[in-house]
Chain A
Amino acid sequence: MAQKDLKRFFAPRSVAVIGASANKGRPGRVVIENMRANGYKGDIHPVNPRGGKLLGLRVFKTIKDLPSGIDLAIVILPAQATPQAVRDCAARNIGSIVLVAGGFAEVDHAGEDLQQELAQASRETGVRVLGPNTAGHISTPADFTSSFFPLGEIPRGGISYVAQTGNFTGAMMKHIMSAENYGVARCIGLGNTVDIDETDVFEFLATDRHTKAIFFYLESLRRPREFIEIAKQVTPKKPVIVLKGGATADGAKAALSHTASMGSDDRILDGALRQAGVVRIDEFSHLFLAAKAVAPMPVPAGNRVGFVSPSGAFIVHISDLCRQRFNLSFPDLMPRTMDRLREISPPFIRLSNPVDIFPSATVHGMEFAYREAMEAVLTDPNVDAVVSIMILTRELGMPSLDFIPELAKKHPKKPIYISFSGDHACNEEAKAFLEPRGVPTFPLIEDAFKALDILAQARKSLKK
């Protein structure tokens, strides 16, 4: 059955793997191993002309032999064989197909023709097609992935990614899994987009209760007005963050007015995204940076930061950065916050926000100084988020960091981000301790503020 929405595409009750392989490391085998590693509970039906058994599963020789009621097929065949496979799957009422093969429009003219054929097959049969030329998709709420990249168990969480590239659910997912400690809900590499496009997926994610924030990597918009209309509906409810690549210097055509000559694709896109409350970012790594910040923490209620720093240099530098590049401010603190900060600091220190915590730490020790200062700043109604830079070295002795997740639990409406200066191994240790406990860490001090800047922008469109 052809499906209009992508519900079964993201939660198939049973799947077929067309082009399953017995050979270790082949996509036709890895995809099954991935599904199993993620605890997929539906039936998996491998298809290969040789038949037999694969990983304990019965292998069907043809698509025709498959049992009825399959929701999704993953087609791992050479490009030439794919249009027929789409039609064969449609004949079996399989509603969704993931097309892995490359060798289409991205390669040559013959590939372009083949892609046309595929698009036609998808249109005529009404089958929803992802790809071709994609590493597939991930849907952790359904314990499912169609990725053929060896991923193993994918961490679960509220972040969803839509990428106009095939390999987001491959190498880039591997990066997230190995370098960070946040989980994902739905991830999709769109590939060559013969059918399912960014706007289709956006529409699904808009009302997906498992998705807390949506990240896009885009190179073009197939249905720009519709995309913007959906964005307007979504951004009051969850952050939408877009990296748009391939910006042309001027899409300006022969124009009679100044307006038209200035109307490059990118300028108009920029205005449209802002109008819809979408946050546009300009660095690939920020797709991960903002995600790790928002995954375990609330979106800040505003752009006022309480900054606890062990060094005047950081205070000067970050203040410059926030003035010049980031739309963040360091508000004055309430008298009672200042009283508390004075209590825990030596008498000769002049205190303000950002808070220089070093004098207090030398007198009272790291743990006490940071805990008390962060608590005071978190309690201050003028502060929307707290960033602390900690000095961690073996020589000074690693403080117990238990107090940080405790503070986060006690102040669930205000994000806490931790950054470091000092011994890299200690930073890694602190990251490994804090992030699984819901406190994001940023080894580079600027990154914590960049992430806050992005989320403070998202906040402007969110209904409080």
Chain B
Amino acid sequence: MKIDAAQRLVARSVKAGHGALSEYDSKRLLAAYGVPVTRERLVHSAKDARAAADRLGYPVVLKGCAHDLLHKTEAGLVMVGLGSGKEVADGFRTLKARAGADFSGGFLVQEMVKGDRELMIGMTRDEQFGPSVVFGLGGIFTEVLEDVVFRLAPLKLSDAREMMTEIRAAKILGSVRGMARVDRALLAHAIVAVGRAAAENPDIAEIDINPLIVAGSRPIAVDGLVILKPAGSN
């Protein structure tokens, strides 16, 4: 997706009264601005799910995906480590049943990213300071440790580089315990991209990329959420 298409997607969604973009759309938008995201396909049938998984390579992750589905895990709509076409097809039927008849969304077949380090990037609009980008530890540690730092958007690459040194757990970005040093240039670009997405899309209220998993040395957005402002609130 190109940036202008991403901007149209936001406008369309706001007009439709959606409170957020689905994970799929969120990531397409973030990818348009330069955030590395998982390879994934949006599917609506078990057959398509299986075909998508064959193309991506096993194992895969299967997730419910809709603009009004903010808490997939809590709703039981995430399955990980599906290792064969049969598991994917069975998984699809299970999730579809769980989602219920009212579920209007689709399902995401996603490459399963392996990495021991989980980071996060986000954006919020502060009443006083305006769009502010956050970077820090991701996964469950986001809530537990709140080891994060903020910068105002738009950011320079040097701002993003500084953020990496300012979290308490800065060492986690280095080559610890045999893990590769995180590709800081790539990470800096991703942080800057989130600020740019916020600056260029005033209808975006909040962004959460969590976890951003470090696969080898490369950060990849495994989940993404773009929250929209209510229509007519600008």
Contacts and interface: CB of A to CB of B under 8 A. Distances in A.
Interface of A: 221, 224-225, 228, 255-260, 262-263, 265, 267-272, 274-275
Contact of A271 (B70, B123, B132, B146): B132
Contacts of B155: 275
B162 A262 contact: no
A258 B128 contact: no
Contact of B150 (A221, A256, A271): A271
Interface string B111-152: 000000000101110101110101000000011001011111
Contact of B151 (A221, A225, A265, A272): A272
A60 B128 CA distance: 46
Interface of B: 19-20, 70, 120, 122-124, 126, 128-130, 132, 134, 142-143, 146, 148-152, 155, 159, 162-163, 166, 206-208, 210, 225, 227
B159 A275 contact: yes
Listed residue (A225, A265, A267, A268) with the most chain B CB atoms within 10 angstroms of its CB: A268
Secondary structure of the B contact surface, majority rule: strand
The 10 closest A-B pairs by CB, nearest first: A259-B122, A271-B150, A260-B124, A257-B208, A263-B124, A257-B206, A224-B128, A268-B150, A259-B124, A268-B132
Given A255-B206, A259-B207, A272 B129 contact: yes
Given A268-B152, A274-B151, 18 more contacts: A228-B152, A256-B19, A256-B20, A257-B206, A257-B227, A258-B122, A258-B142, A259-B120, A259-B134, A260-B124, A260-B206, A263-B124, A271-B132, A272-B152, A274-B162, A275-B151, A275-B152, A275-B155
B151 A271 contact: yes
Contacts of B206: 255-257, 259-260
B124 A267 contact: no
Contacts of A265: 126, 128
18 contacts: A224-B129, A225-B129, A255-B124, A256-B19, A257-B124, A257-B227, A258-B208, A259-B123, A263-B124, A268-B152, A270-B150, A271-B132, A271-B149, A271-B151, A271-B152, A272-B150, A275-B151, A275-B159
B208 A263 contact: no
A275 B161 CA distance: 11
B95 to A, nearest CB: 23
A257 B126 CA distance: 13
Listed residue (A257, A260, A263, A265) with the most chain B CB atoms within 10 angstroms of its CB: A257
Contacts of A263: 124, 126, 132, 134, 150
A232 to B, nearest CB: 10
A257 B19 CA distance: 12
Contacts of B162: 274-275
Contacts of B146: 262
Contacts of A274: 149, 151, 162, 166
Nearest to A269: B129
B161 to A, nearest CB: 12
B150 A257 contact: no
A258 B150 contact: no
Nearest to B19: A256
A275 B158 CA distance: 9
A50 B48 CA distance: 95
A267 B122 contact: no
